[in-house]
Each structure stands twice: as C-alpha cells, then as structure tokens.
Structure 1
Amino acid sequence: MKVVVTGGGGYVGYHVGWAIARGGHEVVLLDVAAPDPEWATTAPEALHDALPDDFWTGEVTEGSLEHVKCDVTDLTSLTRRMKGAAAVIHTASYGVSGKEQLSPHFDEQEKVNVGGTRAVLSAALATGVRALVYTSTYNVVFGGEAMRAGDESAPIFPLHAHADHYSRTKAIAEMLVLMANGRASASGSSPSAAGPQLPVPFRTCSLRLNGVMGLGERRHSRRVIEAFRSGLLIFTYGRKDAIVDFVGIQNVVQAHVKAMMALLREQTAAPSEASPGPPSVPCDPLSPPCSSSSVSGHAFFISDGRPVNHFEYFRPWFDGLGHAFPGLSLPFAFILVFAYLQEFVYRLVYWMFPFHALRHARGGL
C-alpha cells in the first residue's frame, strides 16, 4: 500500500516512513527539506528493536522510500501526492524549539500547524485516504501546572491559557484531526452486503509525544551538546523532583505504525467484527475518550514510561564527553524572567538582523 508522511524530512517522519517501507510498502516523504543523508545509514541501528521481525504479515518485499519536496500548506500539491494513498502520517509542524518559538514567528506557527493540518485533512478526504495518524505533543494538556500520573482522561488545556503559541496551535490542530474522524471521504467507498457502494469512514487518531531522542537525532541533542561544549551550560534550574518524560525513537515509530495499522483494521472491519468504535458523531476532543476499545477518534500519550529530571537525563552526556555536571542551581522564577527578557530583545532586533527560520521546521519534528 501507499503511505504518505508529511514532515518526512524530519527525524520522526523519516524514521516512521523508513519502518513502513521496510514492511514492503510505498512511502512518500513530503517536506520542503530533504532528510539528513546520515539517517539512511543510522536508521537500521536506531530502529533495530522498534518492531518485531514478524510484525508485518505475509511475505515482506522490498518497499520504497521517496522524498518529494512539498509545502504542507499547499493543498494542490498535497492532493496530487496523496492520490492512491491508504494512510497519512502527519508529523509536519513549526515552532517546536529555537527562535521559531518566539512571537515574531506566531503567524508561521499558525499557518503551518493549523492551516497545514486543515490542508492535510482536506487533501486526505478528497483523495479517499482511509486513515490518518497525527503527531501531537504533551503540551496540548499542559499549561505550566504540575501533572502527576496524567493520562488520556486529561482534557485539552484551555486555548487562551496556554503558555506558548506553539502549544496552542498544536492543540487546535489535534482537535481538527479528532473531529475529522468518521467523516466520509469524497472518493472512498466499500461494497455492502447488498451490493451498492457505501462511503468509507475516515479514521484518525493523535499521538502525543514529548522529547524524542535516539541515534541520529539532531534538533535537541545538538543544541545540548553545543551548549556544554561552549561552556554555556553552567547551571541547572527548577526543582530536583520535577520530572518529565522522554521517548526513544523506537517507541515513537512503533506507536505510529501500530496506530496506522489499527485505524486501517477498524476502517475495513465488518460491523460484526469491529470493536465498539466512536459514535456516529465525532468524539468531543475536549472530553475524555468516548470509547475504550477503539483507536480512532482518540489521543494517546507515548513515552518510555521512565520519567526523569530533565537535567539528570543529560548527566551521562556530560560524563561521556568529559564535562563536569553543573553544580549551581538557580530558581525557576529567575530563568522565567530572563526568558521573557530574551524574547523582548529578540522582537526588537530580529528585523534588523535577519534570522532565517529553519525551513526544515515546516516539515517534521
């Protein structure tokens, strides 16, 4: 089958696409930037235990993995590339880190994360795509207050109260994706027992990730390594008992592939064979899941299940690269004030000193 991955030039998108292609499928990676050439070499090691050898049923043949330059906001191009696709993995986003998070880039965040998601959904429905998996973030339910043992029953955080615009746009995009679940695609149809063609329902779900790490990852790890190699990482901040989830690329890939396959099974199962699915109207994305036995219409947190203090996670990196772990710890309030000051200065000078936004960010995570 054909699978389209938006943001396929990004770390998550490429590795998800690579795993699907290994299953003998035709994968098209859509992104304005090409994937890192090194990933073709490192992916087999990075994903060596992501999926069991017998995960793909039947005889596995050599699939294909092709990168096509495409802007996720270009509906015409998306529609052309999605023709014949059975599923879409939508990883494309903008503003997850770096200067692209700051207020001068809010319009671009809105354009890519919300407008791009609308375009992807429209193209998928117009071309008869049967399933769509959306790559979301923990941030859609997090607004700065501590969460312990949180699960999928947590509602999306009020949009007006989000601490940053990226999280707000990702929350809106997730709601759009989940509300599209159950809609009939324009060209999709399946035979009924009586003979006539019935509309095929479009199946969607959302996977919420936090910091993704793994062999070949560049976005987060490169910044951390450059910071302490330059001597800038000289202190930690925040409470020692504050913990976060990181997730390895193996679990990220496994979650996306299994979610896609589950959506396709739900979409093609006969009514008597299908598990109790969503009601005839889409689930309310602001409420807990409306069915405990289906994937479609739901959001899921993905993690390694081993929350850890953010700075302690990187302690082995300091040791391995021969740097002393910071002994100074500053209060979080001080860092927050400094961050606001930094953004204020950036707003004043960015137009005089052009900081070119990473076009790659219009692709994937």
Structure 2
Amino acid sequence: MAVLVTGGAGYIGSHTAWALLDAGDEVVIVDRLSTGHLWSVPPEARFYEGDIGDSELIGRILGENSVDSIIHFAGSIVVPESVSDPLSYYENNTVKSRSLMASAINAGVPNFVFSSTAAVYGTPVSIEPVDETAPLNPESPYGSSKYMTEVMLRDSAAAYEGFNYTALRYFNVAGADPQGRTGQSSRNATHLIKVAVQVATGKREGMSVFGTDYPTPDGTCIRDYIHVTDLANAHVLAVQRMRNGGGSLVANCGYGRGFSVLEVLETVEKVAGKNLNVTYAPRRAGDAVSIVANPARARKELSWVPEHDDLEEIVATALTWEERLSKHNQA
C-alpha cells in the first residue's frame, strides 16, 4: 500500500516522504508548488502537481494508486498573514481540508494523518507543559483554521465506519535532514531559527525580535523546538499504528521544554561563530507568550522516541542546510 503525502514538496512534507521511503513505504505526493520545490521531492516518490481542493484530481490520484493512508501537510502557516488575510486561511486550511477528507472517505482510504499545530491552544492558562486535554483557545485565524479541521476529522471518524485519523499538534519545527537530502527552503520563511541562520549566512542583513516585554524571564516568547526529523518519524509511526488497528488519536509533538527567543539567538550565534544583527520591535498579533508540549501521549501511543532533542543540533543542521541551499541556488 502507498501513502499519499499532500504538500510533500514542502518542508515537513519532504522530510516525511523521505522517512516513509526509509521505512519501506511507497510514496505518492501532491503539491501545487506554491511554497514547495520540485527538487525537494524524493526521486522514488510519484509526484502530481495540483491542489488538494481539486476533488477530481484527488479522486484520480487515489484511483491510480493503492493508497491506504493520507498524511496531510498542505496548508498556509504564517500567523501574521492569517491575521491580515483570514479568509484565505479558512479557504486553504479548512475548506480544502474538508474536500480532501471527502475524497478520502469516498475512496475508502481508512487512515488520515493531519498536520495540526500547538496554535490551537493559544496562550495556555498555565505555563506548565501543555497536554492534549488543555482548553483549546486559538488566538489567530491560522490556529482557528487548524482547529476547525480537527473538529471535522473528529466528527467524520465518528460518522464513517472504518475512517480513523491522527492529529499531530506541532510545536516549533526546525532543523534539517541530517543526511542533507532536504531542509527548510521556503522563499519567505518566518520561523525563528530559519531566519536566524539566514542572517548568519549573509542572506539577510538582520532580523527583528518581536516583543521584549512578555511575562517571561528575559521578556521574549518561549517555545518548544522540535527537530523536523523527529517530527517526520512521528508521522511514520502514526501511519503504522493505524494500520495495526489503532483508533483515532490527537497527540502533541514536542520535547517538553522551552527556549526563549533570545536563548535561541544565542545558540545560533554560538554554533555559527558570529554575532547576529538584531533589532527589537513591538509584539506581533497572534503570538502566544509561552507554549511547551507535554509529549507523553505521543511517546506512549506511537512508541515515539526522539533522537535529535538538542537545540545546538537543531541549529547546526539548519545552518548546514542553509549553506547547502546557497550552493544549490548558485548551481
């Protein structure tokens, strides 16, 4: 059987495609290449260019391939952009996810893994690590659009016999494939570590820290950073679990400890061996103060054992990829 990876030419999608191939799965990818890159698609994967909202295309893909599992990454992810243009996020992240679900159910695909986000929690009431029972209070259209998709999956799994889902709520994803096969290549990335290594490699003149007056030890936001390879492996395990009879599941993917923005920048400076040009700006709308995962459920239910839980390693792989990406773009 094959796994259909939507958004498989993107950052997390391409890492997961490689992880699936490493595990012996057949991989089919659909991506409209709005932010992804064709060269990041593994050569062993079967690729279709198109939109997940195109039900005719998705139906044809499912008809042409023996797909028993879908891993759904395709979507928009920039929080400030979602605040300024919410309807595009509800269209791309919610409406099109509904169409993809319908295609899966109509084709009898039993397993659906959804790329969700810690943004569904908003700012937790407690600074303690957040578990999956915490109140859901998204503070941006991005978070709301992902939460709505989780609701649709929950209700669909209850209504349609044989349809199960796993929603993985990501915390802050960073780093790159240790083998150098793929990495974060977004043209206009907003992720902190990606932006910082771009500054370190001279691709950006400088960067901004948004908000230094948060109620945290150094005044900057705190996040739980997870290496993309560990996250990709969690998706492989989620597929395997459902294939083995596991039911629907919602699970956090993080390491259970947080770093502030300034701590991350200090780590980038240490690994890169140079100072970063940093300016300070007001808070951005939609940014939670502090959010750290309680990953106990993923560790138990998926038998997930992270192998790259080290901020310096995360930064080092991101920096190595950024340098390799420079050479790729020059070729």
**TM-score, structure 1 normalization:** 0.65
**Partner of residue 295, structure 2:** none
Count of matched residue pairs:
265
Q: 1:335 aligns with which of 275, 279, 283?
A: 283
Q: Of the two structures, which has the highest relative contact order with CA contacts closer than 8 Å and spacing of 6 or more?
A: 1
1:164 maps to a residue whose letter is: S
2:57 maps to a residue whose letter is: S
2:92 equivalent to 1:92? no
2:68 equivalent to 1:117? no
Distance between the aligned counterparts of 1:328 and 1:4, measured in 2? 42
The sequence identity of aligned pairs, in percent, is 23
Distance between the aligned counterparts of 1:327 and 1:139, measured in 2? 26
Q: 1:248 aligns with which of 223, 227, 233?
A: 227
- Offset from partner CA, 1:266-318 (integer Å, 9 cap, x none): 1xxxxxxxxxxxxxxxxxxxxxxxxxxxx533210001233222331232222
Q: Which runs of 5+ in 1 are unaligned?
A: 44-62, 185-199, 267-294, 340-365
Distance between the aligned counterparts of 2:86 and 2:117, measured in 1? 18
Q: 1:201 aligns with which of 139, 144, 162?
A: 162
Distance between the aligned counterparts of 1:335 and 1:234, measured in 2? 8
- The SS at the match of 2:275 is coil
- CA-CA distance at 1:99 after TM superposition: 6.0
Distance between the aligned counterparts of 2:80 and 2:134, measured in 1? 29
CA RMSD of aligned residues (A): 2.9
**Partner of residue 176, structure 1:** 152
- CA-CA distance at 1:38 after TM superposition: 6.1
The answer on whether the counterparts of 1:236 and 1:328 sit within 8 Å (CA) in structure 2 is: no
- CA-CA distance at 1:109 after TM superposition: 0.6
- The SS at the match of 1:201 is coil
Q: 2:195 aligns with which of 185, 207, 223?
A: 223
- Judged with a 3 Å threshold, the aligned counterparts in structure 2 of structure 1 residues 201 and 149 are, in CA distance, closer, same or farther, namely same
- The SS at the match of 2:269 is helix
**TM-score, structure 2 normalization:** 0.71
- CA-CA distance at 1:329 after TM superposition: 7.1
- Judged with a 3 Å threshold, the aligned counterparts in structure 2 of structure 1 residues 222 and 313 are, in CA distance, closer, same or farther, namely closer
**Partner of residue 214, structure 1:** 175
- Offset from partner CA, 1:178-237 (integer Å, 9 cap, x none): 2222544xxxxxxxxxxxxxxx61111100002211222233244334457413447862
- CA-CA distance at 1:244 after TM superposition: 1.5
Q: Which runs of 5+ in 2 are unaligned?
A: 177-182, 288-331
**Partner of residue 315, structure 2:** none
The answer on whether the counterparts of 1:244 and 1:309 sit within 8 Å (CA) in structure 2 is: yes
Distance between the aligned counterparts of 2:125 and 2:251, measured in 1? 20
- The SS at the match of 2:70 is strand
- CA-CA distance at 1:253 after TM superposition: 1.1
Distance between the aligned counterparts of 1:301 and 1:234, measured in 2? 26
2:87 equivalent to 1:107? yes
- Offset from partner CA, 1:109-165 (integer Å, 9 cap, x none): 1111111110111000111101001110001122475541211111322xxxx4211
2:267 equivalent to 1:316? yes
- CA-CA distance at 1:36 after TM superposition: 3.5
- Judged with a 3 Å threshold, the aligned counterparts in structure 2 of structure 1 residues 307 and 13 are, in CA distance, closer, same or farther, namely same
Higher Cα radius of gyration: 1
- Judged with a 3 Å threshold, the aligned counterparts in structure 2 of structure 1 residues 305 and 31 are, in CA distance, closer, same or farther, namely same
- Judged with a 3 Å threshold, the aligned counterparts in structure 2 of structure 1 residues 6 and 38 are, in CA distance, closer, same or farther, namely closer
2:141 maps to a residue whose letter is: H
The answer on whether the counterparts of 2:9 and 2:40 sit within 8 Å (CA) in structure 1 is: no
Distance between the aligned counterparts of 1:119 and 1:328, measured in 2? 43
